[in-house]
Each structure stands twice: as structure tokens, then as C-alpha cells.
Amino acid sequence: MATNSGNILPANLTSLHAGEEQLREKALALIAADERLELHLAITEAAMDLADILRQFDTTDEDLKVLQILGMRSFNAFGASIKLALSGYSQNSALILRDVLETAFLLSYFAGDRSLIARWRLADEKSRQRDFGPVKVREAIDARDGFTGKKRYETYKMFSELAGHPTMKSAFMMRPQRDGDAVIGPFVGSTTLDAVVSEIGKLAVQIGEQLTLFFPPAWDHGLASRLAFAMLKQRWIAKFYPAAAASTSD
């Protein structure tokens, strides 16, 4: 006898899912009315496409396989984060973004010194924590790039306080209105949605930039995705960082 899938979940969970779907429509309407949010999601889709294309490269290089897996991890994380954000779970969406941030830092570390990939791949747990823990990686790439403002740390701290840990600041993301009460369950507000989708876009740019560096140069199959990402990245930078775009074109 066929099972009625609508009766599998308890009534309250079925009702919750229905509410999530309604919130998704509300979120999509807010995004459709804001070209900035549409651009953030467009660059995210392009970065996800890079991850999908890179994983298709047939290789026996174990180091490249590590990069393919990290790209696949980022793809899944972006997909989950977007789904949660559109369903009204902004805090949980941001929690996943902290994982994406750590992955972006690790990819950047590997891009600067590819011998680190094998060290990371073959390290035991103690060595991995000592040499490749999040703080170690962040401080190493800051030192490499000459960054002294601790912007990477501040971003990681923001995700940790608002989503990663049960702190008093984390309650901010449970409030439809900043000065209002926290609520239980999903909700979609223009401010929270804007904040989360904006962070998704920023991280997508970082992930896409790093993944591009690991594409085999002569691999024609990857050229279209790399070009599409590069063009969207130019649009994205021109929109959100016009001064940087102007200095690049000079």
C-alpha cells in the first residue's frame, strides 16, 4: 500500500515546514526587489559552479583531490546556508558560514605554499591542531599578506559571537526587531536577510578566488566557469567596493 508522505511527519513539524515555505517566498520577494542581494546570490552560484567543475577534473594527484574535496565542502555549505537563510533560520545560516570562512582561510594558506597540502593531508590529529588550527592558519596568512588590522579575526569573531556560540550577542539574530524580543522558530526580516546574504556573497568571492588558483591551467573544461566567475566578480567589486574597482582600472 502506498504511504501518504504527508502523514510521515508529526503535525507540528508538517506545519513548521509549511511556514518555512511561506517564508521562503517572502525572502525571495525581498531579494527580487534588491539588486544587491541578487548580485550576492549570483556570485555565490558562480563560486559553487567553480567547485562543481573542479571536482570533475580526473586526477591521481592526492593534493589536488584535497582541494576538490574542500571545494565540494564549500558547495554544500553554501547550499545549506542559502536554504536556511531563505527559510527564516538566519542564525543557523551564519553558523555554517563560519565553516566556509575557515575553509577560505585554509585554501588561501595552501595557495601560498602548496607543500602545506601534503603536510595537512598526512598530519596526525595533534600535528593538524598545532600547525593548521584556525588561529594558526589565520595568523599565518595575515603575516604572509602583511595584514595588521586583524580583519580576518574580527570576521571570525563576529560569526562566533552571533551564531557559533551561545552568547548574549547571539540573541540579536533571534529578534525580528533589534530592540524587540527574541522569538522561537524561523522568521524573515529585511535586515537579517540582508546581513546574512551579504556575508554569503563576500565569502563566495573569497572561495571562488581561491578555487580558481587551483584549476589546471590548460584544462579547457574549466575556462567557461572561470570566466563567468571573473566577470561577476568584477561586477560585484564595482557594486560594493567602487573605489577598489576604480583603482584597478586606472
| Number of residues that make up the chain | 250
Supply the pLDDT for residue 248. Answer: 59
pLDDT score of 2:
44
Read off the pLDDT of each residue in 169-182 and give the average, rounded to a whole number.
Answer: 81
- pLDDT value, residue 246: 63
Cα(24)–Cα(27) distance, integer angstroms: 5
Q: Are residues 121 and 66 in contact, defined by beta-carbon separation less than 8 angstroms?
A: yes
User: Is the pLDDT at 196 greater than 80, yes or no?
Assistant: yes
- pLDDT for position 3: 44
What is the rounded distance in angstroms from the CA atom of residue 106 to the CA atom of residue 70? 9
Contact 49, 225 (CB under 8 A): yes
pLDDT over 70 (residue 5): no
Cell of 195: 546581513
Q: How far apart are CA 67 and CA 220, in angstroms?
A: 19
Distance in angstroms between the alpha carbons of the first and the last residue of the chain: 70
pTM beyond cutoff 0.85 = yes
- pLDDT category at 245 given cuts 50, 70, 90 is low
- Contact status, residue 109 vs residue 141, Cβ threshold 8 Å: yes
Per-residue pLDDT, 247: 62
6-63 residue pLDDT tens? 578 899 999 999 999 999 999 999 999 999 999 999 999 999 999 999 999 999 999 9
Cell, residue 76: 554544500
Burial class (CB within 10 angstroms; exposed 0-12, middle 13-18, buried 19+) of 148: exposed
Instruction: State the pLDDT at residue 161.
Output: 82
For 75, counting Cβ atoms within 10 Å of its Cβ (0-12 exposed, 13-18 middle, 19+ buried), the class is buried
Q: What is the mean pLDDT of the chain?
A: 91
For residue range 211-232, what is the model confidence (pLDDT) as tens digits? Answer: 999 999 889 998 999 999 999 9
Q: Which residue has the cell 545560516?
A: 93
Q: Could you give the CA distance from residue 187 to residue 240 in angstroms, rounded to a whole number?
A: 27
- Span 140-161, mean pLDDT? 89
Cα 200 to Cα 95, 110, 240, 248: the distances in Å are: 11, 22, 14, 24
pLDDT tens profile 92-110: 999 999 999 999 999 999 9
pLDDT at position 1: 38
The answer to whether residue 250 scores a pLDDT higher than 90 is no
